[in-house]
Structure 1
Amino acid sequence: MESEYTLYEQQTSRQLKRWEIRLHKLPNLVERASKSMQTGINNLIPDKVHTTITATVKGIIQTTLFGINYIPAQGPLQGLSLADRDAKAQELLALYKKIAAAEGAGTGAGGILLGLADFPILIGIKLKFLFELAHVYGYSTKDYRERLFILYVFQLAFSSHEKKPELLLTIKNWRSVADTFPPAEAYMDQVDWKQLQQEYRDTIDFRKMLQLVPGIGAVVGAWANYGLLEELGVAGMNCFRLRWLQDKAKPKKL
């Protein structure tokens, strides 16, 4: 397949293979201990609290994925090379890291209440970034299946090591997977929202908890949000690069 690619695309393909290997690596001792502690904490949290948080996450993501406000005004970019798309994606990521850092600093400086408000705001920033990233790589978010792809990318970026291989497999086989989807509303009923919110919360917990500490909230909030957007950017760019290379090798049938 690589013989069909330019030199840049061949290099990218090899980078993606190394990224996939890293995703399949087993967590180290510290990561396993952290996950075990977070699981224990989750078990102590009353079901009513989990239900409330789950409903919040579900509401935010559903509103974002199936509203029209997040669809970029500019249509998907056409006719660009992968190198040009990657350059534009890096510019977009740099912008959103600054936006997230500024938001984290502002809410972190405002104490516990504003710190808690950062949770839904940050999800919105992340999803808005992914919407625009899709258009950079030539995929229109007017198609609900592209918005579901964004949901999988979001989960891949903020999920446990155990879940990443399964999510990556879905992303790698997206063309065939997307053909099996029911209507959008029916599909969303099949999402395990409790698991999604727990995986997401466990991934960001330590950094975001520090944001609530008086005196250091602003600094930590900026640092945490900047880093979380960086992680999302790496996952998002690699997922879209993977699809772009697959589509070049096997163009869609008209």
Structure 2
Amino acid sequence: MPATPPFAASDADYHAWAAGEVAHWRARTLKPAGAVDRAARGLQQRINRAIPERVHETVTAVIERLTRTILTGADLTTGEPHRGLPLQERDRRARRAIEGFRTAAAVEGGVTGAGGFWMAMADFPALLTLKIKLLFDLAAIYGHETEEFAERLFLLHVFQLAFSGAGRRADVLHALEDWDARAHPQSYEAFDWRRFQQEYRDYIDLAKLAQMLPVIGAPVGAVVNWRLTERLGETAMNAYRMRALA
């Protein structure tokens, strides 16, 4: 869970503390992959090479269609963005939102994990929907208008940053830096959906496979969903802090 400040701070002191948190998060994000991460990545790449190209194309199309539908869906609007709040209050509300979504994701993962293979498969789109909804809520908390295409593109990059391998995270993080000072595409056509879906699958597949096993599927599903949602929340919080402090 994102860290909480150890004191009741003035706005200036809180900004200084938050800047330190962003710096620590940025250093962790850019940290090279360790031996375990490299081994898991190598295994996943061997699995990917064994999967026929037609399957990769189908999965890419499904994830692209699902993600586009979620991102453009009117049912995810969260009302007016929160205006005029200090960063300290925004962070407090963000933590509360992350806790709520984290609990919901854990419950959903436990239920589907207890139901065997097909229910575990159903967890994939359900969890993706929860994650995107969390991002929309956090965008409103930090005062950003999710009706604007550039904001939805920002959310897509935050999602990608949270669930990419070490070799990809630096590129995505640099794309998020100085976001408000740069022009952005006005359609999703330039977005690399193939890389997006493969990085996402590579990040979660090995953990989610255990969710399909008898007996242990329910607790594994709950823990994995909890941690994945927590990681997304921490990434989004720091990405929005980075924008606020720029």
Normalised by the shorter chain, which TM-score bucket? over 0.9
Please give the residue correspondences for 1:67-78 in structure 2 after superposition, counting only pairs within 5 Å.
67-72=73-78, 74-78=79-83
1:149 to 146, 154, 162: 154
Say how many residue pairs are matched.
236
Report the equivalent of 1:163: 168
- Letter of the 1:70 partner, please give it: L
Report the equivalent of 1:175: 180
Are 1:54 and 1:194, in contact at CA under 8 Å, matched by a contact in 2?
yes
**5+ residue gaps in structure 2?**
1-10
Looking at structure 2, the residues matched to 25 and 108 of structure 1 have their Cα atoms a distance apart, in angstroms, of: 32
Identity across the alignment (%): 39
- Letter of the 1:52 partner, please give it: T
- What RMSD, in angstroms, separates the aligned Cα atoms of the two structures? 1.1
Matched, 1:234 2:234: yes
Matched, 1:60 2:66: yes
- Letter of the 1:232 partner, please give it: L
Looking at structure 1, the residues matched to 23 and 154 of structure 2 have their Cα atoms a distance apart, in angstroms, of: 20
Looking at structure 2, the residues matched to 180 and 104 of structure 1 have their Cα atoms a distance apart, in angstroms, of: 35
Are 2:32 and 2:166, in contact at CA under 8 Å, matched by a contact in 1?
yes
1:22 to 28, 53, 58: 28
The offset of 1:59, in angstroms, is: 0.8
Report the equivalent of 1:251: none
- Letter of the 2:239 partner, please give it: C
Report the equivalent of 1:224: 224
Looking at structure 2, the residues matched to 80 and 171 of structure 1 have their Cα atoms a distance apart, in angstroms, of: 22
Looking at structure 1, the residues matched to 75 and 24 of structure 2 have their Cα atoms a distance apart, in angstroms, of: 36
The offset of 1:219, in angstroms, is: 0.9
Matched, 1:11 2:24: no
Looking at structure 1, the residues matched to 22 and 105 of structure 2 have their Cα atoms a distance apart, in angstroms, of: 26
1:108 to 109, 113, 124: 113
Looking at structure 1, the residues matched to 114 and 162 of structure 2 have their Cα atoms a distance apart, in angstroms, of: 27
| Structure with more contact order per residue of length (Cα contacts < 8 Å, sep ≥ 6) | 2
The offset of 1:176, in angstroms, is: 3.1
Looking at structure 1, the residues matched to 26 and 172 of structure 2 have their Cα atoms a distance apart, in angstroms, of: 11
Report the equivalent of 2:88: 83
**5+ residue gaps in structure 1?**
247-254
- Letter of the 1:198 partner, please give it: Q
- Runs of 4 or more, structure 1, over 4 Å off, are none
- Letter of the 1:201 partner, please give it: R
Are 1:66 and 1:144, in contact at CA under 8 Å, matched by a contact in 2?
no
The offset of 1:19, in angstroms, is: 1.3
Looking at structure 1, the residues matched to 115 and 192 of structure 2 have their Cα atoms a distance apart, in angstroms, of: 33
**Partner SS, residue 139 of structure 1:** coil
Are 1:104 and 1:218, in contact at CA under 8 Å, matched by a contact in 2?
yes
The offset of 1:180, in angstroms, is: 3.7
Are 2:178 and 2:243, in contact at CA under 8 Å, matched by a contact in 1?
no
The offset of 1:26, in angstroms, is: 1.0
Looking at structure 1, the residues matched to 126 and 65 of structure 2 have their Cα atoms a distance apart, in angstroms, of: 13
Please give the residue correspondences for 1:131-150 in structure 2 after superposition, counting only pairs within 5 Å.
131-150=136-155
1:42 to 45, 48, 60: 48
Looking at structure 1, the residues matched to 237 and 21 of structure 2 have their Cα atoms a distance apart, in angstroms, of: 12
**Partner SS, residue 234 of structure 2:** helix
Looking at structure 2, the residues matched to 39 and 176 of structure 1 have their Cα atoms a distance apart, in angstroms, of: 36
